[in-house]
């Protein structure tokens, strides 16, 4: 037995770990008994945990199977990291069309959570670019799913929380790029109305758009809006390697995110980026993956860990609801260093349980302060649920079952594809066994 935790570090649990290294032997391991596929464990809550049960560690399934440099088609095993795809592909003129805020994520994890990035209005979600995949079911069946064969299973598995079968391999369609550089435009805003106008303006001519918002500021909803495009010209000389990383060496005895540090940090971050506002050229790594420069950054929340609360407010007129959420956070005397605000566009979802839909998403990290934190979440849940919103399961560790059921209207349809031999902490909490 090994002790495993999620990225939120809310409490390690005992697991029986089976380490997979050979795709041909996956069937024997998966068919031997109930379990759950696990990659890097970068999910914040219990979607990657199976407390007291088995996990099938997929990091050894890390082989590239085939790459077509003419068409940008990549076939690889599910344990390959997004980092390794980017390092392989960018120097050859290709890149992942969609990538989340960390590249320390496996292909299998990216599919199972149907991750999104800063360009939903341009490229949708990760699942939109999965041409085919192979899943291993616990009953011994190995199934190939594609746009032409078992398409319904492809839709169930993309965003299916790892519950339809263990993803063994996948074929991905990459997108062409001229190099690793981005043209970035950074602007400060002083209210939600200004943020929404910037987001709408960016859709026409900018591929990437994301905002940081100062949820600790007592005045206007100020923040930093960052939009970017791939450069039209290639860079002959660039460093395509892994950037140098500073790691937090130990877990501090208390959270570094507290009443004394939150407002000064947010104020400094806002002023620094406002001072640097304007156009610049950036390598894709710091723009896509800013937190990856700090290894084990989750330790800064101390021994009790932290929660991420990421919600979706559906529709096009969401400013009033977002303001209500931010007001509730301020009233609870809580806040976040990492407060991200983005809009999603209207486009078909890749999966039955995909999180993105037309609307606004707000993501915040909160140190675990026990009952006070849960009281705040209950208030936020009430606001989100009242407008038909949803929470992102990949980030969740505590949402009520009723909010999950109301937020995902295709849940009943999905249940027909669930593998009865796969279980997670999240599935037992929200779906039962």
Q: Please give the pLDDT value at position 315.
A: 95
Rounded CA separation 216/331 (Å): 10
Q: Please give the pLDDT value at position 338.
A: 86
Q: What whole-number percentage of the chain has pLDDT above 90?
A: 88
In three-state secondary structure terms, 40 is coil
In this prediction, residues 396-424 reach a mean pLDDT of: 97
**402-423 exposure pattern, b = at least 16 Cβ within 10 A, e = fewer:** ebbeebbeeeeebeebbbebbb
**211-247 exposure pattern, b = at least 16 Cβ within 10 A, e = fewer:** bbbbbbbeeebbbbbbbbbbbeeeeeeeeeeeeeeee
Name the CATH topology of 181-402. Alpha-Beta Plaits (3.30.70)
Q: What whole-number percentage of the chain has pLDDT above 70?
A: 97
Tens of pLDDT, residues 85-116? 999 999 999 999 999 999 999 999 999 999 99
Contact 235, 256 (CB under 8 A): no
Model confidence at 432, pLDDT cuts 50, 70, 90, reads confident
In this prediction, residues 356-383 reach a mean pLDDT of: 97
| Look-up of token digits 């590249």 | 103
Q: Is the pLDDT at 2 greater than 90, yes or no? A: yes
In this prediction, residues 286-311 reach a mean pLDDT of: 95
Contact 412, 393 (CB under 8 A): no
Q: Is the pLDDT at 433 greater than 80, yes or no? A: no
Range with the lowest mean pLDDT among 138-142, 298-302, 335-339, 407-411?
A: 335-339
- List Cβ neighbours of 114 (8 Å cut-off, separation of 6 or more): 125, 126, 127, 158, 159, 349, 350, 351, 353, 354, 355, 356
Which carries the bigger pLDDT value, residue 295 or residue 127? Answer: 127
In this prediction, residues 405-421 reach a mean pLDDT of: 97
Model confidence at 244, pLDDT cuts 50, 70, 90, reads low
**Residue 71: enclosing H or E segment and its boundaries?**
none
Model confidence at 234, pLDDT cuts 50, 70, 90, reads low
Query: What's the token pair of residue 62?
Result: 């890390």
In this prediction, residues 270-276 reach a mean pLDDT of: 93
Q: Is the pLDDT at 353 greater than 70, yes or no? A: yes
Q: Is the pLDDT at 245 greater than 90, yes or no? A: no
Q: Please give the pLDDT value at position 243.
A: 58
Tens of pLDDT, residues 120-155? 999 999 999 999 999 999 999 999 999 999 999 999
- Say how many CA atoms lie within 13 Å of 327 toward its Cβ: 8
Rounded CA separation 367/295 (Å): 18
Q: Please give the pLDDT value at position 216.
A: 85
In this prediction, residues 166-176 reach a mean pLDDT of: 98
Rounded CA separation 105/84 (Å): 10
Residue 288: count other Cβ atoms within 10 Å of its Cβ: 24
Q: Is the pLDDT at 237 greater than 90, yes or no? A: no
Which carries the bigger pLDDT value, residue 420 or residue 236? Answer: 420
Whether the model pTM is above 0.85? yes
Q: Is the pLDDT at 242 greater than 70, yes or no? A: no
Query: What's the token pair of residue 277?
Result: 């506002």
Q: Please give the pLDDT value at position 33.
A: 80
Boundaries of every domain in the chain: 181-402
Q: Mean pLDDT, the chain, as a whole number?
A: 94
């Amino acid at each position: 037995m090994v002790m495993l935790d999620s990225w939120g570090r809310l409490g390690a649990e005992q697991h029986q770990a089976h380490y997979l290294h050979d795709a041909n032997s996956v069937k024997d391991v998966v068919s031997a008994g109930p379990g759950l596929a696990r990659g890097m464990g970068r999910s914040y809550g219990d979607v990657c945990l199976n407390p007291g049960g088995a996990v099938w560690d997929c990091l050894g399934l890390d082989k590239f199977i085939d790459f077509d440099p003419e068409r940008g088609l990549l076939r690889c095993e599910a344990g390959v990291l997004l980092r390794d795809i980017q390092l392989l592909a960018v120097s050859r003129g290709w890149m992942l069309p969609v990538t989340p805020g960390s590249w320390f994520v496996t292909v299998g994890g990216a599919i199972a959570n149907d991750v999104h990035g800063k360009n939903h209005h341009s490229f949708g979600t990760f699942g939109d670019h999965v041409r085919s995949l192979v899943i291993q079911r616990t009953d011994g069946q190995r199934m190939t799913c594609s746009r032409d064969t078992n398409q319904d299973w492809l839709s169930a598995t993309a965003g299916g929380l790892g519950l339809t079968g263990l993803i063994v391999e996948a074929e991905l369609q990459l997108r062409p790029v001229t190099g690793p550089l981005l043209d970035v435009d950074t602007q400060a805003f002083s209210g939600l109305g200004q943020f929404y106008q910037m987001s709408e303006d960016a859709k026409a001519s900018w591929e990437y758009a994301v905002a940081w918002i100062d949820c600790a500021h007592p005045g206007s909803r100020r923040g930093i809006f960052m939009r970017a495009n791939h450069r039209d010209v290639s860079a002959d000389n660039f460093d395509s390697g892994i950037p140098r990383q500073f790691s937090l060496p130990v877990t501090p005895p208390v959270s570094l995110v507290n009443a004394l540090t939150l407002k000064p940090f947010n104020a400094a971050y806002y002023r620094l980026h406002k001072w640097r506002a304007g156009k610049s050229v950036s390598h894709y790594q710091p723009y896509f993956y800013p937190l990856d420069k700090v290894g084990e950054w989750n330790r800064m929340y101390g021994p009790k860990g932290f929660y991420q609360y990421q919600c979706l407010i559906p529709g096009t007129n969401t400013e009033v609801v977002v303001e209500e959420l931010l007001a509730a956070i301020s009233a609870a005397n809580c806040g976040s260093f990492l407060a991200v605000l983005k809009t999603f566009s209207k486009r078909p979802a890749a999966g039955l349980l995909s999180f993105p839909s037309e609307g606004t998403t707000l993501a915040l990290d909160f140190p675990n302060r026990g009952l006070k934190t849960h009281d705040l979440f209950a208030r936020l849940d009430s606001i989100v649920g009242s407008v038909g919103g949803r929470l992102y399961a990949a980030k969740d560790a505590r949402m009520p079952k009723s909010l999950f059921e109301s937020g995902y209207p295709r849940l009943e349809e999905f249940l027909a594809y669930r593998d009865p031999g796969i279980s997670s902490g999240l599935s037992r909490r929200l779906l039962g066994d």
